[in-house]
Structure 1
Amino acid sequence: MALNGTLKQRAPVTDSSGPPPRAGAAFGAGRGFAWLVVLTGASGLLASWVITLDEFELLWNPDFVPGCSLNPVISCGNIMKSAQASVFGFPNPMLGLVAYGIVCCAGMSLLAGGRFGRWYWLALNAGALLGVVFVSWLQFESLYRIDALCLWCCLAWVATIVLFWRVTTLNLVKGALPAPGWARGLFCEFGWAVPVLHIGVVAMLILTRWWDFWTG
């Protein structure tokens, strides 16, 4: 009987993903995730800073050629001179300076052991979602309207995509976003594959858009 009770107590849990935290409970993240948030924020911040400096240089000198204008396709100057580069009436990278700065602060807070409520994680997720929607529109405009690429913009695209999917994965696994147990387990196991697939699709679109140029 005692052996029976011991075996029952040690019976394995079938749901490997585990239950979500108590509703409304604050939670943090591991150092790996925190560093990823810092790096994505810093990458976007760097790209925004460089593009902003080049934008100001273009205002002072219309003949200025940015250093990342390498050929007819990789032409940051054409991107910066387009109407899409100032959607809200000011250069887009100025928005990035604020947004990616916030991301860096969030990552540093996590590195310091910060724990945040569900509302904070959902706000970060919503901000990252808006960022992905915006860069997806910019990708379309860049490929099929402006007909040019900016390498610094591409860096910001990658940073935003990675940030969005990793924050979404964390929120699903921690239960901040409602999802069935199998979905939480799937994202817990293969969450890394989603941003890789997303970036791969964008890379394939770029490759096919200028296939003749790359292979000519």
Structure 2
Amino acid sequence: MTASASVHVPRPAAGPAPGAATIGSGRALALLLFVGGLIGLAASAVLTFDKLRILENPSYVPTCNINPVISCGSVMRTEQAGVFGFPNPLIGLAAFGALAAIGAGLLAGAGYRRWFWLGLQGGTFLGVVFVHWLIDQALYEIGALCPYCMVVWATVVTLFWYTMLHNLRTGVIPVGPRLRTVVREAARYHWALPVLWAAVIALLILNRFWYYWSTLV
């Protein structure tokens, strides 16, 4: 007599089993965290280097000073570029380095406890809030854009969204039965929110600096 082994798969958004030790992820999310972390890390490193050069030589002109609107130097010399008392890119070096390490661990087959995933969710949420404050400041207070900063914006929003989808689908963030259909549809059209976000930001940039863009037409 033989007994067939069975694998229990928890319902999406129902919450992890009480005895579950760790929660892993699919390869797609793991790769996204790893690659996104590396992209953000590279952008933060370039910004940190340019900031140090400006501190060393105030007349230094970063290579991403392209025109009056796309001007990293104009952004780096503002108070918003060091809102916590030190250059903002230093936050990116630490945060994106950690995200790349988490992604590498997941690619290697690691799993993390629920509190870890909730911490990751909270961290990416704070990143999104900070990024949107920086977007507001860049558009309506500073009046200039930094290409590397925009790379960071896009990376943070993307990582936040896909981390949240993972946490909803695996039950790290439990939702009621009525919202499970919403979660499934959001996962099905997972690309829609990042594309919509990018389109809205692009329109805001187009509108804010139309006085300059119109001269190029």
Task: Give unpaired runs (5+ residues) of structure 2.
Answer: 1-10
Q: Please state how far the C-alpha of 1:175 moved relative to its aligned partner.
A: 0.9
Gapped regions of structure 1 (runs ≥ 5): 1-15
* Alignment-derived partner of residue 53 in structure 1: 49
Change (3 A) 1:78 1:19: same
Change (3 A) 1:78 1:109: same
Structure 1 residue corresponding to 2:151, chosen from 150, 155, 158: 155
Count of residues in Structure 1 that have an aligned counterpart in Structure 2:
201
Deviations 1:183-210 (A, max 9, x none): 2212221222112212221111111111
Shift of 1:24: 6.1
User: How do residues 72-151 of structure 1 correspond to structure 2 at under 5 angstroms?
Assistant: 72-151=68-147
Q: Flag the 1:168–1:84 CA change in 2: closer, same or farther, 3 A.
A: same
CA contact (8 A) 1:24 1:117 kept: no
1:114-135 deviation line (CA, Å, top 9, x unaligned): 1111111110010000000001
Residue 184 to residue 210, structure 1, CA distance change in 2 (3 Å): same
Query: Deviations for 1:58-101, whole angstroms, at most 9, x for unmatched residues?
Result: 01111100000000000000000001000111100011100111
Question: SS of the residue aligned with 1:91?
Answer: coil
Q: In the aligned structure 1, how far is the partner of 2:102 from the partner of 2:141?
A: 35
> Could you say which residue in structure 2 is the equivalent of 1:41?
37
Q: Which residue of 2 aligns with 1:3?
A: none
Query: In the superposition, relative to structure 1, how do residues 195 and 24 fare at CA in structure 2: closer, same or farther (>3 Å)?
Result: farther
Deviates more, 1:145-154 or 1:170-179: 170-179
Determine which structure has more spread, i.e. the larger CA radius of gyration.
1
Structure 1 runs (4+) deviating above 3 angstroms are 16-21
Deviation, 1:182, is 1.3
Give 3-state SS (helix, strand or coil) of 1:89's partner. coil
* Cα contact 1:172–1:187 (8 A) shared by 2: no
Q: Which amino acid aligns with 1:87?
A: V
Q: Does 1:22 align with 2:17?
A: yes
Q: Secondary structure at the match of 2:64?
A: coil
- Quick check: 1:31–1:111 contact (8 Å CA) kept in 2? yes
CA distance in 1, matches of 2:201, 2:161: 15
CA RMSD of aligned residues (A): 1.6
Decide which moves more: 65-74 or 18-27: 18-27
Matched-pair identity in %: 45
Supply the distance in 1 between the matched residues of 2:136 and 2:14 (Cα, whole angstroms): 40
TM-score by length of 1: 0.88
